[in-house]
A and B are shown apart, each in its own frame.
Chain A
């Protein structure tokens, strides 16, 4: 059990120009917290995790685990356990040997190792497979062995690098819940890396969004969803993605096709002298209204039926060109392809405005 902190930690890969894979990352993770690092590929999330594991150098700044500076401590001195994307099980050892290897290296007695391995195996439903080699296991079982190897160590921090990405969709959802429950039960500080924002939202106590090595925002899933700090976070968190369009504004509000969405005084002040803003609205905050009502004219181009609801993709005229919008509607009465519908903002409190160039949130 320990808290973790990144103090302006950077990883710079030499090259011309040098690549700052992780750029002055500052992050505090409290004891027992489940923190998810999320971002698109190349965002530096895995590098950040590997820096914490000691597998990647920290070129600038520092990393602390449990209040101790571990910036220059080799991995074995950090009291961490890591679950790799490929699981990285030792192919020449049985499941039991894999799980007990770290304890064996520490000189723990055989009986104690056996007891701890069996306890972890019970937790993960692996008792039947303890004498097997990894190659005789299915993907899901291997994943559990990798988890078991981490649990047996009783480390102060768990590190997980996309541990679910090699599982099929159904197993992934199941294992996702199991990992979250396990972490809750063990109460061990966990840093979890994923590119899947659904995983991030469902598992993390807090989620840190990275892009190009820079921390964009770190907050609870709810706060990320409700108040994204910039246009990138707004577009990355949430599925389907938020509709983000550059629209002209005036004193009355933001001008979309056929409607003017009124903006609060505070929002207009924040927009200052801008004549355009990035206007963001989630698909669920839009709705189809009867044809007589005020709304944007949309031509339906694609309907994705998800069962409970449906996603309607369509083109809306904004300014000179046309822009695509996604609207979430009731699954039982979706419009048909090619149909012209009226779309209106259902909830004016769910409008997000961002600076058209910097992408920063304009506080309303």
Chain B
């Protein structure tokens, strides 16, 4: 008997859809859906950008156009300080957001590490309380926090506001980081201790470098908590113009009878830029950080 290649070949099966294949209609529908969702997400931001170049009088029109007397005037007037101490506010916001990030991440990293590695009485209730405090709406917290700040003599100061932001950022970040630290094998801690590190040395020289993705995500969260926040900032900062943060300062464009939409839009774009930069810096960690921290926690 002879065998040739063709006789060995199986009858070619009809082309069937594999699990990964889609029909044309499904493909079109899927893409249309995604494109619409993307537009919904992107369009408002895009329109703010368009408006930011228009004079206030042209910002809201019955038949909107992409360009209508557009110029960089709004930006130059804001940055030039004609519409309030924008650069001072910017500086305040940066200072407060960075301080919040540094303090919140340091506190939650140390707390999260302790909760991940050590057994101590009250550990469960501590973690539970972190979860519970996140459930109170901001509005409820303003009065009690204000009283505490007065008692501490910190009302109206940037440091006071930083501590207030930490109360929201620390519990969440602690949870995130505890979850992340749990994924780092304790063998590494032990190897470090045998190699001659103190317990804090293990945390600082081994665990922190390994937790970079988790730290990046929590830093981002802490930064955003402080950066765009309005309610606490307007309640706790002094009324003086040069102590305002950006988010509070933006309110000068919204007056009782008149809103300076063009300037407001331009200022909003300027406010968004630092947040975008921070996001850009941490985005490569975001997926790994969020998934490994949150899921395996």
Q: Give A residues with C-beta under 8 Å from B.
A: 53-55, 74-76, 80-82, 84-86, 88-92, 101-102, 105-106, 149, 153
Contacts and interface: CB of A to CB of B under 8 A. Distances in A.
B191 A76 contact: no
23 contacts: A53-B190, A54-B194, A55-B190, A75-B190, A76-B193, A76-B194, A76-B195, A76-B197, A80-B194, A82-B190, A82-B194, A84-B187, A85-B187, A86-B187, A89-B191, A90-B191, A90-B192, A90-B206, A91-B188, A92-B209, A105-B196, A149-B191, A149-B195
Contact of B194 (A75, A89, A91, A92): A75
B210 A88 contact: no
A207 B209 CA distance: 40
Interface in B182-221: 185, 187-188, 190-198, 201, 206, 209-210
Interface string B259-276: 000000000000000000
Contacts of A106: 196
Contacts of A53: 190, 194
Given A76-B194, A84-B190, 4 more contacts: A76-B196, A80-B194, A88-B185, A88-B188
A84 B196 CA distance: 16
A55 B185 contact: no
Interface string B164-186: 00000000000000000000010
A153 B196 CA distance: 10
Contacts of A89: 191
A88 to B, nearest CB: 4
Contacts of B210: 91-92
Contact of A101 (B185, B195, B198, B209): B195
Nearest to B193: A75
B221 to A, nearest CB: 23
B194 A81 contact: yes
A323 B113 CA distance: 55
B67 to A, nearest CB: 51
Q: Which of A85, A101, A106 has the most CB of B within 10 A?
A: A101
A92 B209 CA distance: 7
Nearest to B201: A105
A324 to B, nearest CB: 40
Contact of B193 (A55, A86, A91): A55
B209 A82 contact: no
Given A88-B185, A88-B188, A90-B188, A55 B194 contact: yes
A139 to B, nearest CB: 15
B191 A88 contact: yes
B187 to A, nearest CB: 4
A89 to B, nearest CB: 8
Contacts of A85: 187
A89 B184 CA distance: 12
Interface string B7-39: 000000000000000000000000000000000
Given A91-B210, A92-B209, A92-B210, A84 B191 contact: yes
Contacts of B185: 86, 88
A101 B206 CA distance: 11
B201 to A, nearest CB: 8
Nearest to A161: B187
A75 B193 CA distance: 6
B187 A102 contact: no
A54 B193 CA distance: 9
A76 B187 contact: no
A301 B185 CA distance: 46
A53 B191 CA distance: 10
Contact of B191 (A54, A74, A82, A92): A82
Contact of B198 (A76, A82, A102): A76
B88 to A, nearest CB: 41
Nearest to A55: B190
B187 A105 contact: no
Contacts of B196: 76, 102, 105-106
A105 B195 contact: yes
Contacts of A88: 185, 187-188, 190-191
Contacts of B188: 88, 90-91
B127 to A, nearest CB: 21
B19 to A, nearest CB: 31
Contacts of A75: 190, 193-194
A149 B191 CA distance: 10
Nearest to A86: B187
Nearest to B188: A88
Contacts of A76: 193-198
B199 to A, nearest CB: 9
Contacts of A54: 193-194
A80 B196 CA distance: 10
